[in-house]
Amino acid sequence: MAEGSAGDREEARPSSQAGDRGLDPSGSRVKRLPSLTRNRVSLGDLVFLHWSEASWTYVCPVLIKRRRAGRPRVGVTLHIEPTIIIVLAIILFSTLVRVVFGFGNALIAMPLLALVIGVRVATPLIALVGTLVALAMLATEWRSVQLGDTWRLTLSSLIGIPIGLWFLKGSHEALVKVVLAFLTIGFSSYNLLKPRLITLQDDRLSYVVGFVAGILGGAYNTNGPPIIIFGTLRGWSAQGMRATLQGYFLLTGVIILVSHRLAGLWTPEVLRLFTLSLVPIALAVVAGTLLSRVIPEKRYDKYINLFLLVTGLALLAQVIGGG
């Protein structure tokens, strides 16, 4: 009886030792990583994404090393949930739109991410993404920034951002979205039908516009449309529009990030998702920069007003649909 027990222990020992060495039953060396929803995972761990019943798989064959003489391949395995893939796809597409038009990532990403990870996670996540994108875009376009308008818009936004945070913690989301939707639809429709019949000769309204944009930015990261409307009425060029928007987004983005941090919105889940988003952001910035150079200057106003019209209709449809 004792010998049988000892034999069983001897037979079980190789399997145990294999597990200690990180080998699966086939002899492959595998690094087992915990679920992304419970533990932090560094960007370096994203070498392999392994299929399981509750996860999707992305394998990088270039990184798979095969040993000589038929020895087992060496790899790193990471279990990742479908939700993470969806979030990264949304960030990739919305950031691409942001780089091409200068704004719009929050208008696209916020409604979609709210369905996947909730508004309280999506809001600080998109704020982090947007600030990083603004910094990347300014690296090449900073000379075109309208400095006078930028600082006035930013200064007045300081007053609006805390009010926006109050809206975020309250139940006024539908009201804000309806007002923003009608404002965006009305302005873009007017410009498409009767372009440039109204222009602003001075910047006196910049303080009002910045205040409204601050409220929308603090609450839902949707501070782009008011600035776009103001810039269009002021006659900014396409490059000047994109650059000035990024200057404004960078300054207000830092303020919004600090506000989110003080409000306790920077949870481990938010920081984890942001870390995983770095690669999609980089890809979108490169691709979007190339696409923006293809759009002719004369057609930029038309395209941006069409995009404003679509986003306004999308916001209105979201409110009507109970989103």
* Owner of token pair 């001075």: 202
pLDDT value at residue 299: 78
d(C-alpha 182, C-alpha 126), whole Å = 23
pLDDT at 196: 58
Question: Roughly what angle, to the nearest 10 degrees, separates helices 173-193 and 206-220?
Answer: 130
Token representation of residue 297: 């200057």
Amino acid type, 196? R
- The pLDDT, as a whole number, for residue 281 is 95
> What span, in angstroms and rounded, lies between the C-alpha atoms of 151 and 246?
12
User: What is the pLDDT at residue 297?
Assistant: 66
Distance CA 89, CA 80 (A): 14
Q: What's the pTM? A: 0.62
CB atoms within 10 A of CB 216: 26
pLDDT of residue 278: 95
In this predicted structure, what is the pLDDT of residue 43?
Answer: 41
- Residue 186 confidence (pLDDT): 80
In angstroms, the CA 283 to CA 133 distance is 11
How far, in Å, CA of 264 to CA of 246, rounded? 26
Residue 24: the pLDDT is: 44
- In the chain, where the domains are located: 12-70, 83-320
The tens place of each residue's pLDDT in the chain, 323 residues long, gives 445 555 544 444 444 444 444 444 444 444 444 444 444 444 444 433 333 333 333 333 333 344 444 544 444 444 567 889 999 999 999 999 888 888 778 878 887 887 788 878 888 999 999 999 999 988 877 777 767 778 888 889 888 888 887 776 666 667 777 877 887 788 778 778 765 556 777 777 888 999 988 888 777 767 777 888 888 888 877 777 778 888 888 888 888 898 888 888 899 999 999 999 999 999 999 998 888 888 776 777 788 788 878 878 877 887 787 65
The two structure tokens encoding residue 14 = 């190789």
